[in-house]
Amino acid sequence: MPGVTTEFTVTSPEQMQELGRRLAKLLRAGDLVMLNGELGAGKTTLTRGLGEGLGVRGAVTSPTFVIARVHPSLGDGPPLVHADAYRLGGGLDEMEDLDLDISLPESVVVVEWGEGKVEELTDDRLHVVIHRAVGDTTDEVRHVTVTGLGQRWATVDLGVLSA
């Protein structure tokens, strides 16, 4: 898959949250971030940092009983739309049917487990894949791969994420 990729290792939940805060600085309205990784990988933890970095209202939690949650900005930035595509069987159509009362192009949209479901939303997207270190379920080590796809990310330096 062509795109700008950066890989790094995260060794604690706090670091994952910090990664989210850094990521927030790169994001603007209309951006789509897809988070992939098994249950407990740290997708929601990263999104929590992202919400902090964006300065949005409300605690970011697993959207277990809702498909998506909207966190309005506390300032004049874009709202964060946090969706769990695991529950979003039908993909984008369903997303548009959610009647979120917000405009996706004016929001930062983060989708957990979005592979194969939300790609049609935009050619420009950021893929974040989180893997636990193999064979150790208690370890806090995570391998993170961030790939920017499309024109939007072609000239963005993702290296600042691991600084």
Ligand X SMILES: Nc1ncnc2c1ncn2[C@@H]1O[C@H](COP(=O)(O)OP(=O)(O)O)[C@@H](O)[C@H]1O
Q: Which does 31 bind (CB under 5 to 8 A by kind): Mg ion, ligand X, none?
A: none
Give the strand order in the sheet containing 32-36: 4-10, 142-149, 125-132, 32-36, 108-112, 80-84, 68-71
Distances in Å between the Cα of 127 and the Cα atoms of 74, 76, 97, 107 are 26, 26, 24, 17
62 binding ligand X? (CB under 6 A):
yes
CB of residue 42 to Mg ion, shortest distance in Å: 8
16 binding ligand X? (CB under 6 A):
yes
Rounded CA separation 115/30 (Å): 18
37 binding ligand X? (CB under 6 A):
yes
CB of residue 42 to ligand X, shortest distance in Å: 3
Q: Which does 142 bind (CB under 5 to 8 A by kind): Mg ion, ligand X, none?
A: ligand X
Which residues on neighbouring strands pair with residue 127, listed in sequence order? Answer: 34, 147
82 binding ligand X? (CB under 6 A):
no
Which residues on neighbouring strands pair with residue 84, listed in sequence order? Answer: 112
Distances in Å between the Cα of 101 and the Cα atoms of 37, 96, 97 are 29, 10, 10
Q: Which residue's Cβ lies closest to ligand X?
A: 42
CB of residue 62 to Mg ion, shortest distance in Å: 4
Binding residues vs ligand X (CB under 6 A)? 10-13, 16, 37, 39-45, 62, 112, 140, 142
